[in-house]
Structure 1
Amino acid sequence: MRASDRAYDTLRQEILDGALTPGTLLGEVEQAERLGLSRTPLREALSRLIADGLADQTKGRGTVVSSISAADVDLLFELRLPLEVQSARLAAERGDPARFTALAQRFTAAEKTLQARDQAREDEHYYRLTEELDEAVAEAVANPYLSHSLRSMRAHLVRARRLAQHEPERLASSAREHREVCTAIASGDPETAGAAMLIHLRRSLAYITAQHESSPQHRSLTSNREESPA
């Protein structure tokens, strides 16, 4: 793997995981030293992150991790709703029922454990399970163009979801909604699958938007971004 690809993958994952929070300065000298590479491949990695919308080039500060506003979330969901609903419909027509039945059972188990004592660990386990569902749907649909569009969009949604700081009750509700999506896909009924996905997405949008709008930290980050010209 090229040094620039390794740097890109590492920084991208750290941004998605929340290890690098919005507004974090991605200084060339510091990041190159931390990642053990020269500044040239690091610059290539930073350019790719900027192109992805995961970082911004700001005047006076340099490259920083981009922020996500409630307005950004609305725009992302305008794209997400038709893509995800269509994916669920196609997965119901083309997918392996046994695979989605197994996922439904795992979401049932996840719902029961999300309010366990080690909350952070359970949350992370749940997020990984949702990623498995995304992969299962993508493989069932077998449309590389649709999968590419969803992958690009989901990178931003992962950040929005983590920054929203989901409460245990919402995560448990989300697990139930995902279980219903899996069950509908396994049934082979595209209309039911699309409807179940639409219900989940609308509830997710309402929750994430409310959380972002009520977060003082988020409002501050958004304000700083608007005041810093590119």
Structure 2
Amino acid sequence: MRASERAYVALRRDILNWDLPPGSVLAEVELSERLGVSRTPVREAVAKLVADGLADAQRGRGTVVSDVSLDDLEDMFVLRRVLETESARLAAISDQTHRFAPLADRFRGVVQHSETLEEPGPYYQLINTMDELIDEAAGNSYLSSALTNLRVHLARVRRMAKDDRARLAASAVEHSRIAEAIAKQDPLLASAATTMHLQASLDHILTHAETPKGRHD
């Protein structure tokens, strides 16, 4: 992996985790020292973050981590609903539906052993796996590209609502229903289950959101 790509991955992770919260200045000298690379790879990485919408170039301040606001959340979910329900529908009529029954079992296992949600990292990775499988099964590169970009910004907003074990368990049930519907080759049920999950997710964020405690590096 090139130095600029390593720097980009590290900075992107810090932004999504709120280790670099909105407004943090992305100073080349400081970042090059922290990341152990020269200023040129850092400059390239920061330029890519700007292109992703994760950073903004501001006159007088240089480049800073872009703001994230609940004001945009409902608009994001309008787009997310359109994209994800269609992806689920396409997945349910694809030739890859057999891949989703084992996935549904894994989500049911999470519900049965909810103590594993005390550390939610593996659960979020399971969600990422499902997203990737649906994207692949849907077979529409334009859909998957739009969702990839949207999910980055949604991940930042999601961090504004604290992880809640009860909500994560409910989410696991919702994901198992989506996976089951796709496995049964039922596009209408897959779309409906996705809609219900997204509404529950939106409601949770809106009622539990607060600004995470980050640090300005």
1:47 is displaced (CA, Å) by 1.6
Query: What TM-score do the two structures reach when normalised by structure 1?
Result: 0.85
Q: Residue 90 and residue 7 in structure 1: after superposition, are their counterparts in 2 closer, same or farther (change >3 A)?
A: same
Aligned runs of 1:177-188 on 2, under 5 Å? 177-188=174-185
Partners in 1 of 2:24 and 2:112 — Cα distance? Answer: 36
Q: Deviation per CA, 1:84-104, whole angstroms, max 9, x where unpaired?
A: 000000000004233101110
Residue 107 of structure 1 corresponds to 107
SS of residue in 2 equivalent to 1:94: coil
Q: How far apart in 2 are the matches of 1:112 and 1:60? A: 54
> Conserved in 2, the CA contact under 8 Å of 1:7 and 1:35?
yes
Matched with 2:75 is 75
Aligned to 2:171: 174
Cα deviation code 1:5-52 (max 9, x no counterpart)? 221122112322343333333221111112222212211211211221
Q: Which residue of 2 aligns with 1:84?
A: 84
Aligned counterpart for 1:148 among listed residues 145, 165, 184: 145
- Aligned equivalents of 1:113, 1:55: Cα separation in 2: 39
Structure-2 residue corresponding to 1:8: 8
Residues 95, 128 of structure 1: alpha-carbon distance in 2 compared, 3 angstrom cutoff? farther
SS at the partner of 1:163? coil
**Aligned pair partner of 1:135 in 132, 136, 147:** 132
In structure 2, runs of 5+ residues without a counterpart are none
Where is the helix percentage greater, Structure 1 or Structure 2? 1
Change (3 A) 1:111 1:56: farther
In structure 2, the residue matched to 1:226 is: none
Tell me, yes or no, if the aligned pair for 2:85 and 2:191 is still in contact at 8 Å.
yes
The total of aligned residue pairs comes to: 214
Question: What TM-score does the superposition give when structure 2 sets the normalisation length?
Answer: 0.90
Q: Which residue of 2 aligns with 1:197?
A: 194
Residue type at the aligned position of 2:41? P
Deviations 1:141-161 (A, max 9, x none): 111111111101111111222
Give structure 1 stretches of 5+ with no counterpart. 222-230
The amino acid across from 2:208 in the alignment is: Q
Structure 1 residues 59 and 164: alpha-carbon distance in aligned structure 2, compared to 1, 3 A threshold: farther
Report sequence identity in percent.
Answer: 47
Q: CA RMSD in A?
A: 2.1
Q: Which moved more, 1:188-197 or 1:107-116?
A: 107-116
